[in-house]
Structures are given as structure tokens and as C-alpha cells.
Structure 1
């Protein structure tokens, strides 16, 4: 009965440690994904908007200059510039939407990669902590010589 009780306690302990480890891994993974996604999306959005503004400005200027050269009439030049600016705004909006979509895709991929990396690191850390806790508990429950052998075995396993 004592043996069965000890085995039940050890099983409950292992299950509790597994649960704690899984929760820690899940939390670390979620936090890493959220941070990575937010950072990557913000950076990509800023870069995309700046590039879109530059391109729209250059396109509007180029189109206005070309139209002005073709037309001698000042009114025609002004109308052409206004039209070019409107077209540039339309083009800018299209470029911005395209850049945001690209930035979102890049951010999701980067977040996924970072989350995988964070998950692996969290799993390794949780495993290490679980092994250390198990070793400490085993040492407390066993005689010193057996506890020392178990500690050395755990340390050897970590090195491998």
C-alpha cells in the first residue's frame, strides 16, 4: 500500500510538472508571437508608407513636368498637375495597400519563426527546470549516495 501510495504521488507530481511546463511554454510562445507580430507589422507599415509617399510624390512631379512641357497653356499645365496629383493619390493608396499586405505577410512569417524559436527555448527551459525539480525531490527522498548518482546521471544527460 505504501508503494502504491508513493507511485501515485510520483505520478501526480509528474503530471503536475508536465502541466506547469506546458503552460509556461504556451505563455512564452504567445507572448513571443504577439510581440514579434506587433513589432514587425509596425516597422513594415512605416517603411511601406514612407516608400509609397516618396513614389507618389516623384510620380506626380514627373507626370506634371511632362504634361507641362507638352502644353504651353498655363491652365492646361495646372489641370494636368491637378490630374497627376489625383492619379498620384490613387496610385499612392494602391501602393500603400499593397505594401501593407506585403508587410503583414512578412510580419506573420517572422512572428511564426520567432514563436517557433521561443517555443523551443521555452520547452528546453521547462524540461531543464522539471529535471532539476525531480532531482531535488528525489534527493530529499533517498539516501545521499543514491541522490548523488541520480544528480550525476541528470547532469550527464543534459550534457549529451
Structure 2
């Protein structure tokens, strides 16, 4: 039986090999902002907003020789926030996404992400929950040098709740 981690190790080794690494953009992203919980059956007066942050690593592959369009994958850790009047619900997880980028102006790209989040919900009442659900997001990157600014809106659709994050961050290419 093949192990799922083997595919990840093989992907990383292939990505970081010198020939492949030279033709692709490998980057890291740290982004932070706020999240908004949209849950069914929440009484009024319950705090449904909190801070959110993510640490992601990705690789993008140019689809044309002018780097006008690119396709890539990214993944990493996501903390969606603590919700409720006494932080009764804490959401976090690991995400993997496919991302398409379009170069629209000098130093500016727009992107669309679609992926899955392996999430964990910690409840103060002692009953925890977890699962894997989809998400999508849109955003932009801007920068004329190596360091780029990144803004995005992501919508995570979990079992009984939807969470939207509004984030700004920094993207740094490793090559």
C-alpha cells in the first residue's frame, strides 16, 4: 500500500531539483487579517469575527513564455479564529489549493484559488469536530521587486458553518 506522504516527498524533491526549480516560481506567503463566521442557529450577540492568519508555500508553473498566465499549487497552515463570547469555538487546519494567476499590469497579478481544508474545530464544551471541506478564494499580488504584497478573500464552507477571511500579507519568491 502506498503512503500519501510519499507523493508529497516526491513532489518536493521534483520541485526543488535544479532543472525544475529554475523554470518555476517557488514562494512562501504569510498573510493575516480577519475572519467572519456565518453559522446557522447562532444566537444574536455572539461574537462571529476574529483575527485570521496563514503560512503557505507554493509553486507556480508558467503556461506561456511571457509569464502572462500561470498555474500552481500551494498549501500550508491556516488559523481561522476563535468565535463566541468566550472563545467557545476555535477553527484551524491545513489547506491545499490549485491556483491560477494572470499578469494584468507591471508587477500586478490577480488569482483564483480552489482547494480543500482539513479542519479541526475545538469546542470549550469538550466536544471537538473535524473534517475536510472545500474552499475558494480570489486575490491579487503586487510588487516590483522580490517581495510582493498579497491580498485575498477566501470562503471556507465547513460542515455547519461558512467562514470568510479577508487577508493582507507578503509573498516572497525563493528563486
Normalised by the shorter chain, which TM-score bucket? under 0.3
Structure holding more strand per residue: 2
> Per chain length, whose mean CA-contact separation is higher, i.e. which structure has more relative contact order (CA < 8 Å, sep 6+)?
1
Give the structure-2-normalised TM-score. Answer: 0.19
- Structure with the largest fraction of helix: 1
For the pair shown, the structure with the greater C-alpha radius of gyration is 1
TM-score (normalised: structure 1): 0.20
